[in-house]
Amino acid sequence: MSQPLLVVEGLVRDFGSFRAVDHVDFEVLPGTIHAVIGPNGAGKSTLFKLITGSLKPTSGHVTLSGESIEGKRAHAVARRGLVQVFQLSSVYSRLTVAESVAASIVSRRRRTLDVVTNFHRTALREATAILDQVGLAERASTIAGTLSHGEQRALEIAMALAIEPTVLMLDEPTAGMSPAETRATADLIVSEVRGRGITVVLSEHDMDVVFGISDHVTVLHQGQVIADGTPEAVRSHDQVMAIYLGHGAAKDGGAS
Ligand SMILES: Nc1ncnc2c1ncn2[C@@H]1O[C@H](COP(=O)(O)OP(=O)(O)OP(=O)(O)O)[C@@H](O)[C@H]1O
Ligand SMILES: [Mg+2]
* Each residue's pLDDT tens digit, 46-72: 999 999 999 999 999 999 999 999 989
Q: What three-state secondary structure class fits 117?
A: coil
Answer yes or no: do 195 and 174 share one domain. Answer: yes
- Quickly state the pLDDT bin for 91 (edges 50, 70, 90): confident
* 242-255 residue pLDDT tens: 876 555 444 444 43
Domain housing 138: 87-149
59, 9 Cβ separation under 8 angstroms: no
Check if 38 has its Cβ closer than 6 Å to any atom of ligand 1.
yes
Average pLDDT on 174-187 reads: 91
Residue 240 forms part of a structural domain = yes
In this structure, which residue's CA is closest to atom 6 in ligand 1?
A: 15
Residue 179 Cα to ligand 1 midpoint, Å, equals: 26
Using only C-alpha atoms, the chain has a radius of gyration, in whole angstroms, of 18
Reported as type and span, the H/E element at residue 84 is strand 82-84
Lowest mean pLDDT among 27-31, 130-134, 198-202: 130-134
- Pocket-testing residue among 12, 14, 15, 221, ligand 1, by greatest number of atoms within 8 A of Cβ: 15
Which ligand 1 atom lies nearest to the CA of residue 46? 18
pLDDT at residue 41 greater than cutoff 90: yes
Residue 72's pLDDT is 92
Domain identity same for 249 and 170: yes
The pLDDT score that the predictor gives to residue 104 is: 87
Task: Look at residues 127, 143, 128, 198 and name the one whose alpha carbon lies nearest to residue 169.
Answer: 198
pLDDT-based confidence at 118, cuts 50/70/90?
low
Q: Nearest ligand, CA of residue 256?
A: 1
**Residues 182 and 65 both lie in one domain:** yes
Answer for the pair 157, 191: CB distance below 8 angstroms, yes or no. no
Lateral strand order in the sheet of 6-15: 18-28, 6-15, 59-64, 67-68
Report how many domains make up the chain: 2
Asked if 12 and 60 count as a contact pair (C-beta separation under 8 A), the reply is yes
Q: Does residue 159 sit within a domain?
A: no
Question: What was the pLDDT predicted at 26?
Answer: 98
Average pLDDT rounded to a whole number, residues 115-144:
85
pLDDT: which is higher, 109 or 146:
146
- Whether 10 is in a domain gets the answer yes
224, containing H or E segment: strand 224-229
pLDDT for position 71: 87
For residue 249, what pLDDT is reported? 44
- Distance between CA 208 and CA 182 in Å, rounded? 10
Taking the C-alpha atoms of residue 132 and residue 97, their distance in angstroms, rounded to an integer, is: 12
C-alpha to C-alpha distances, 48 to 44, 221, 224, 233, nearest whole angstrom: 6, 15, 14, 23
Helices assigned H by DSSP within the chain = 44-52, 74-79, 90-93, 97-109, 118-133, 149-162, 179-188, 207-213, 231-235, 238-243
Could you tell me which residue, 129 or 252, shows the higher pLDDT?
A: 129
184 and 248 part of one domain: yes
Q: Which of 9-13, 91-95, 234-238 has the highest mean pLDDT?
A: 9-13
d(CA 185, CA 206): 12
Q: Are residues 62 and 179 located together in one domain of the fold?
A: yes
**Residue 61 shares a structural domain with residue 170:** yes
Residue-level pLDDT at 251: 43
pLDDT of residue 252: 42
pTM score: 0.90
156 part of a folded domain: no
